[in-house]
Amino acid sequence: MVTVKIDGKEVQVAPNTLILDAAKEAGVTIPTLCHDSRLNPFGACRVCLVEQVNNPKLQAACTTPVTDKMEIITRSEKLSRVRKTAIELLLINHPLDCPVCDKGGECTLQDLTYEVGVTKVRFDAKPNDTPVDHTNPFIERDIDRCVLCGRCVRICDEVVNIQAISFLNRGTDTIIGTSFEQPWNCEYCGQCISVCPVGSLNNRIYLFKNRPWNLERVKSVCGLCSCGCTVDIDYEGNEVFRMKESPAEGINHGYMCAKGRFGFEFINSIKRQSEAVVKAGGESKKVSFNEAVEVAVEKLRKVKDTAGADAIAVVVSPRLTNEEAFLAGKLAKDVLGTSNLFSTESEEVYPEATLEEVENSDCVTVLNIDVTESNPILGLAVRHAARMGSAPLAVFYPGYTALKRVAKKFVTGNPDEVRASMESYAAAVAGASNEYSEWAAKLTKAERPVVVFDPYNKADVKIAQDIKKACAKVKVVPAKSKNNSVGIVDMGFGAKCATEFAKGLESGKFKAVVVLGENLSARSVWTKSASKAAGLELLLVTDPFMSETAAMSNVYIPVATFAEKSGSFTNLEGRVQSIEKAVDKGVNTDACVVSAIAKGLGAQLPADANAVRGMIEKEVPLYSGINWDGGVVSYPYVFAGEVAATDGKAKGKGRFFLYPASLRLHSGSFTRWSPDLAKVYGEPMLEIGVEDAKELGIKSKDRVKVKGEGFEGEFLVEIEKKVSKGCIALPEDFVATAGIFCNGKSLRADIVK
Amino acid sequence: MKNVFETIFFTEILQGLGITLSHMFKKPVTYRYPFEATPIQDRFRGIQYIKTHADGRTKCVGCYLCQKVCPSECIHIETDCGPNGERLIRKYELDLSRCIYCGYCEEVCPVDAIHMGWEWNTVASDRSGYVINMKTLSMNYKDNLEGNWKNKHLKKKLVEGVQQ
Amino acid sequence: MSYTTDHVEVHVCMGTAGVASGGQEVMDALDAEFTKRGLKNAESKERNCAAKQTGCRGLCARDVLIDVYIPGKDPITYEHVSAEMVPTIVEEHIVGGNIVEKWAAKADYFQFYDKQKRYVLADCGRVDPESLEDYIKLGGYEAIKKALTMTPEQVIDEVKKAGLRGRGGGGFPTGLKWTFCRNSPGDHKYLICNADEGDPGAFMDRSIIEGNPHAVIEGMLIAGYAIGCDEGYIYCRAEYPLAIVRVIKAIKDAEAAGILGDKVLGTNFHFKLKLKEGAGAFVCGEETALIASIEGERGMPRPRPPFPAVKGLWEKPSNVNNVETLANLPSIILKGGEWYAGIGTEKSKGTKIFALSGKVKSTGLVEVPMGITVRELIFDVGGGIPKKRKFKAVQLGGPSGGCLTPDHLETPIDYDSLIAAGAMMGSGGVVVMDETNCMVNVAQFFLTFTQRESCGKCIPCRIGTKTMLDILNRITTGQGREEDIELLLELGNDIKTASLCGLGQTAPNPVLTTVKYFRHEYEAHIRDKKCPARECAELIEFVVVDDRCKKCGICKKACPVDAITWEKGTVAYIDREKCVKCRECIVNCPFNAID
């Protein structure tokens, strides 16, 4: 520890702490413009200059580490003059269009202008005037307002590692741009927007919609993938205007992905339903919430009386909160008396490593999943480990992913080859000597190795388990897909196999099914049997939208999205985090639906999240005494017993290997209601390699038929150089493709033009 | 003695009558409202108008500053992004029944768009008539510019004031 | 000077200036002449003449220079040689034995060398830069052989004893810099030779590399051995094609001879050397930007600490030295640190090479001992100001340096005295100005350069220098405002204190020093809208002053647009409609008759 004196206040800090951080410790704020604590020191803006006693040179607080007995002065006449000059210089070329700039009101340059007290610029103003760039569907780029702090360039390089933008030209001509002035080609994560101190990079979804001072804010958790990012939901009235990062907070450190940042628009969608629908005798009728509940209750009672409680099934979606899932379980078990609780999740695999452990790992292996798309923040953690921590990263995936840039080893090929490679790798970890021995040694020698895998692919789970068995210090990350995939299992919806529900539907065992938020047609396990649900005595579906399943239902109740309710989600680390209600769209939550049905059946279930939490803490041992704001559940095991060896070989016959493509900004289920995400990727596209496309004479945007054993479909073609030769890929979660992947995760197919 | 004289000859009354008589030949200081309109001073703050560019586009950029500054919260704005990335004002509403004519909106406007006019006649048969929108506000500008006031006392020089 | 070979050798200056003046033609002509006369017999002792290319010998103003070495006789130098003159020289001098007096260098040529002490440049102009054998013949690579018998610490001690300070401009003690890098933990260290010489008017490093590349390589070997580096880079700007060609050849030759690569000269010292071409950015002369550029990144300086000695190239400890610093090393090792410390002043040891340019008779490269006065440099070595004009100022240290006035002529040239006077040693560019130079224009010229070369990273340098330049532009075009001088001073000082790297921290110097010493010129521009030196075209009226005009008609001949009417015996008249304000008439008028 060294002692430094900042503005007369003495503090003890660790050696090599930056002056800026030491000042924070001392309670002194130093103005900054180009600094971001998550990025490497840059020292460009010179606003944070401070005086060091006995040193004639000014020091940049954001780049200079403290030394013992250092004395720092942060406020002096000289410093305010230098700072003022810097801001004045920036204001020469900065177009003063604050009234129409989206950043106006939360702009660092505005704040600094006030702070240093610039009232009149001594120099002649020469505002830039270049056209605004709209080549990126989500990011508006106005280089006129740019102050060249380099934060966007640095975050795109250091954190996202896409390097989509960089400095161009030199001196006063310097601008931020893409190489060779090409259109933006990036992941659309919008990290650059989040760090831009001025209105140079703007969120096009929020563009010109409102001003920051009108917005109210709640801190919540993103309800899309299972990373569980802490986000700020900015709203006015009952409209969500933007979802943005909570700076440097949460397990995501203030990073977000395209889905979270730009995909929230479904909350405000005009396609949202507001009235319940009851179908009787082929006729749909809009009814009130209470009427719909009454119909449902009556039918449930009738089925229970005539066919018994076992004829009733409750299906929940992993979008539900823990509290809602718990209530649904309560309703099923205690009120209806059935044990038919289903979801797409299973309790076979529990979370183990946290994102922090992934970041700090010294050897990372990614098995057959494109985490940068499925769980982007987990992807960032993997990249961080591979790049900043320089952990050797091995990736197995049919086709290249964005991790190619940082991976020390990238094993690709067709799915069968990749599977064989993964099996050899697992064997090598277990001690066998083969081509992967060298890489296996890196894993076994590492102190904090991490393995990321896809928990929905049985064959992958088996490999992950084999690795874990061979090397106990390996921590695994099952990359679950949805925001509460883990939580609903904890609430009892993972005990039964999802296929059992499909069988029940097929056999006609179930007469009444309560579907909370789930879209059966878009789930590959259920899609085939989904049509059977249409003829049930009762098919109660709750969903914010009129999904395919909701359209089949005889009782439909519109419900709230995650921004309209309170509760908690458990993310892929097993971390329980609270969400906060921001807006009210005039629809009930799933908790209200469950509670109302229970009431109709003569039982009392609370709908209030806090009351339910009390019950959960009592009844779910895993959650007893849990901290609802970030507590990590300690699971009894990672793998539930020996995973049966499955034949992962591609099924069927055909020229091409067909595998589930990595998600492209969104899956086809929920986020497809976001108009802006859909603008970029609207319908499932068939990805095919350049060579194969050439051979077949297929061009981008052609429509081709994919035919395999037991399935057929027509898709738009996207030629993607990352896809290996002899392979084609389709996204999994679209209704149009769920029917394909119900046959297996790895298939063979032919392309018919 | 003087008092007696005054008492006998009612001099004070005559003086009073004299004043009355003199006023009979002066112009009246009152106005026979509503048959006659009252005069408006230059700095009178009446119903707002919003300036337009020569081609008829409004000068307002929808920055929300008037909405923020308005003490009686009578301005409501909604903006959006147009198809080519331009700023659109979806809605600009001003509720005259709430407006206290303080003129803060005029002062805060960064683009010199909203101004206090000289028209003050807001009488309407129901409340919805008090909510005026961008179209009306722009029309007000035109009226102010051309001098189409209901209040005929507004003089030409005020027209010049608007043009500035 | 005596020469030890038994045959006639003609040395032809083939530095960049030599080549540009027709050196290659002279070489070819000599060769052809020797062949024609049958003088090219390698075996014969009498009829064995050869033309040899050498590097720059300094006095570039008189290129092409050739030296004729006849065994047993003093070498004779000829100036301004062209291919046509070659047969005569060969005929009369080499064959006939009579010196061609009319072309031979006169006393003023030797005056140029009188006060110089050429150690670093000693072999430039003697050695064939493209021949390793020639370098070795002249005693090359002896210093590294000697160094390899010493311990690295002894080598560093020797350099410390010599008191050598970095010649790139900063003047940091070289031995100390090496110690930092040597003591920095790391198994792999880099030595970088900074040959990215970008100052306008400076060409020292270029001449050294072009004239004697092996000396630089030898210096790098010594430094690499002392620090413990096993890999070196020469970062040379791509605008020096001849230097690049010669360095590449030298590296190849040295590798073939076992001087570079694994096991240098059979010892356990390994040293690999690579050449990296710069992309023409002045800022890449700053060491952190240079390192970024070698790494393939954008050439932008980064804040220090960490210093390159701790985390430099590829995050490894690195040491960056200037070409001239490295070229000093062989003689220090051979002759000893004490010998070197005997030259120069108390705090600045050794010699320093300057590139003399501007309004001085003998422009070229000079190597003078530290402590020589500005007057000696300009008037004795440089031969004074041409056209009998008055000396007005000298810009020392390139665009980052400052202007000195006639009052400073007695200032000794060493690191500390120059800084005290407001200038700096810099890389060694010396631009001399006479009374026809407008100081505002000079400041504007240098600022235009630094402003264009700013990397754009930090605000003060990026926008500040541009703003200063805008103010200067308006002053020189007659738009100056009363408050502009104060604004320039305030802004200049803020840029100096706030900038990130040396480029920005020194960029305002030319402006600040010219304001300091020539404030009246600024005031004349602003208040009277007049340029006293008549250099700012916008402020000149282009009128012939009747009583000064001697009716000579030179201005008419000089005018490129025929705007001047003159007939014999009349005062010239300038048609201002036609005049394009090119200033040719002013420059050419011997009587200062145009205002």
- Which residue, among B58, B77, B79, B112, would best test binding to A if mutated, counting the most A CBs under 10 Å from its CB? B79
- pLDDT at res. C4: 34
Q: Which chains touch B (3 or more CB pairs under 8 A)?
A: A
Cα–Cα dist A41/A16, whole Å: 13
Burial of C493 (0-12, 13-18, 19+ CB in 10 A): middle
Mutate to test the interface with C, among A46, A59, A62, A80 (most CBs of C within 10 A): A46
Neighbours of chain A (3+ CB pairs under 8 A): B, C
- pLDDT score at C5: 41
Strands (E), A189-252: 201-203, 216-221, 230-236, 239-245
Mean predicted confidence (pLDDT) in A122-144? 89
Cβ neighbours of B68 in A, within 8 Å? 211, 213-214
- Looking at residue C6, its pLDDT comes to 52
Nearest chain C residue to A171 by CA distance is C456
Indicate if the pLDDT at residue A82 is higher than 80. yes
- Is C208 a residue whose pLDDT tops 50? yes
pLDDT tens per residue, range C394-451 = 988 878 888 888 888 888 888 888 888 878 887 788 889 888 888 998 899 999 988 8
CB-based contact (8 Å) between A180 and chain B? no
pTM over 0.80: yes
Task: Evaluate if residue C96 carries a pLDDT over 70.
Answer: yes
Cα→Cα distances A471→A396, A449, A457, A573, C234, Å: 19, 9, 21, 20, 48
Strands (E), C284-374: 318-322, 351-358, 364-369
Q: Is the pLDDT of residue A409 over 80?
A: yes
Q: From CA A130, how far away is CA A140, in angstroms rounded?
A: 13
> Which residues have a Cβ under 8 Å from the Cβ of A117 and sit 6 or more positions away?
A80, A84
**B85–A211 C-beta distance less than 8 A:** no
Neighbours of chain C (3+ CB pairs under 8 A): A
CA distance A205 to chain B (A): 9
Mean pLDDT of A371-381: 91
Compute the average pLDDT of residues C78-104. Answer: 83
The CATH class for the domain spanning C439-528 reads: mainly alpha
Q: 């590798």: which residue's tokens? A: C255
Tokens representing residue A719 in the block: 């030629």
Quick one: what percent of chain A has pLDDT higher than 90? 60
Pairing of strands C351-358, C318-322: unpaired
Handedness of CA C141, C145, C151, C155 (dihedral sign): negative
Per-residue exposure over B75-107, b if at least 16 CB sit within 10 Å of its own CB, e if not: bebebebeeebebebeebbbbbeebeeeebbbe
Residue A505 and residue A533 in contact, taking contact as beta carbons nearer than 8 Å: yes
Neighbours of A438 (CB within 10 A): 10
Summarize pLDDT for C469-508 with one digit per residue, the tens. 999 999 998 888 889 999 999 999 999 999 988 888 888 9
Q: Which residues of chain B fall short of a pLDDT of 70?
A: 1-2, 148-164
The token pair that represents C82 in the structure block: 């062209």
Structure tokens at A512: 């009444």
pLDDT at A112 over 50: yes
Of the CATH numbers 3.40.630.30, 3.30.450.20, 3.10.20.600, 3.90.870.40, which one belongs to the domain with range C351-434?
3.10.20.600
Interface contact flag, C497 A82, Cβ < 8 Å: yes
**SS3 (DSSP) at A118:** coil
Contact C194, C233 (CB under 8 A): no
| Contact indicator for A714, A384 with CB cutoff of 8 Å | no
The answer, yes or no, to whether residue C42 has pLDDT greater than 70, is: no
Question: Out of C456, C459, C491, whose CB is closest to A167?
Answer: C456
More confident residue, A681 or C152: C152
Backbone phi, then psi, for C78, in 5-degree steps?
A: -115, 140
ipTM of the complex in this document: 0.85
How confident is the model at residue B163, as a pLDDT?
56
Q: Both tokens of residue B112?
A: 């010199």
- Confidence band (pLDDT; 50, 70, 90) for C92? confident
CA nearest to A124 within chain C: C467
| Residue for token pair 């009579």 | C98
Question: What superfamily would CATH give domain C132-341?
Answer: NADH-ubiquinone oxidoreductase 51kDa subunit (3.40.50.11540)
Contact A214/B at CB under 8 A: yes
Asked if C509 contacts C429 with a C-beta cutoff of 8 angstroms, the reply is no
What pLDDT is recorded for position C95? 79
Report the gap between the CA of A207 and the closest CA in chain B (Å): 6
Whether the per-residue pLDDT at A505 is higher than 50: the answer is: yes
Q: Where do the domains of chain A lie, and which CATH numbers do they carry?
A: 2-75 (3.10.20.740), 122-268 (3.30.70.20), 276-347+485-632 (3.40.50.740), 355-478 (3.40.228.10), 656-752 (2.40.40.20)
Chains C and B touch (3+ CB pairs under 8 A): no
The confidence score (pLDDT) of residue A541 equals: 94
Q: Please, what is the average pLDDT of chain C?
A: 85
Q: What is the pLDDT of residue B31?
A: 80
pLDDT above 90 (res C79): no
| Predicted pLDDT at C53 | 86
Give CA separation, C468 vs C451, C462, C492, C505, in Å: 9, 11, 8, 14
Q: What is the mean predicted confidence (pLDDT) over A283-301?
A: 93
Query: Are A86 and C456 inside 8 Å of each other by CB?
Result: no
- The Cα-based distances of C566 to A380, A654, C139, C310 in angstroms read 79, 95, 64, 70
Cis peptide before C460 (omega within 30 of 0): no
pLDDT for the residue numbered B60: 93
Residues of chain A neighbouring C298 (CB-CB closer than 8 A): 166-167
> Quick check: C17 pLDDT over 90?
no
CB contact under 8 A, B111 and A204: no
CB C327 within 8 A of CB C215: yes
Is residue C2 predicted with pLDDT exceeding 50?
Answer: no
Structural domain boundaries in chain C: 8-105, 132-341, 351-434, 439-528, 541-595
Fold of B40-163: Alpha-Beta Plaits (3.30.70)
Integer Cα distance of C22 and A199 in angstroms:
58
Q: Residue A153 gets which letter from DSSP?
A: H
> For A82, which of C300, C462, C494 is closest by C-beta distance?
C494
User: How far A685 CA lies from chain B's nearest CA (Å)?
Assistant: 26
Q: Chain A: nearest CA to C468, how far in angstroms?
A: 10
Residue A145: pLDDT band (50, 70, 90) is: very high
Contact pairs from chain A to chain B, CB under 8 Å: 38
Q: Is the pLDDT of residue C586 over 80?
A: yes
Q: Among C202, C200, C237, which residue's Cα sits nearest to residue C445?
A: C200
Binary contact (B65, A99; C-beta < 8 A): yes
CATH of C541-595, one of 3.20.20.100, 3.20.20.60, 3.30.70.20, 3.40.50.300: 3.30.70.20
Burial of C205 (0-12, 13-18, 19+ CB in 10 A): buried
Average pLDDT rounded to a whole number, residues C345-350: 85
The crossing angle, in degrees rounded to 10, of helices C509-523 and C439-453 is: 150
Of B61, B84, B88, which has the smallest distance from its Cβ to A99's Cβ? B61
Task: List the single residue in C with minimal CA-CA distance to A63.
Answer: C303
Please, do chains A and C touch (3+ CB pairs < 8 Å)? yes
Paired with B131 in beta bridges are B95
CATH architecture under which domain C8-105 falls: 3-Layer(aba) Sandwich (3.40)
Average pLDDT, chain A: 90
| Type and span of the H or E element at A51 | strand A49-52
Cα–Cα distance, B12 to C61 (Å, whole number): 116
Q: Do C499 and A44 touch (CB under 8 A)?
A: no
A500-503 contacts, C-beta under 8 A, 24 or more apart: A500/A342, A501/A313, A501/A315, A501/A340, A501/A342, A501/A526, A501/A529, A502/A526, A502/A528, A502/A529, A503/A529
Stretch 122-151 of chain A: residues touching chain B, C-beta under 8 Å: 132, 134, 140
Are B85 and A140 within 8 A, CB to CB?
Answer: yes
Burial class (CB in 10 A: 0-12, 13-18, 19+), A37: middle
Residues in chain A with CB shorter than 8 Å from the CB of B87 are 100, 208
Strand partners, A59: A50
Residue A332 has pLDDT above 80, yes or no: yes
Residues of C in contact with A166 (CB under 8 A): 298
Q: In terms of DSSP bridges, do strands A276-280 and A283-287 run parallel, antiparallel, or are they unpaired?
A: antiparallel
pLDDT given for residue B12 in this prediction: 85
In whole angstroms, give the CA distance from residue C184 to residue A515.
67
- Residue B130 CA to residue B97 CA, distance in Å, equals 6
Q: What pLDDT score does C97 carry?
A: 77
One-letter amino acid of B143: D
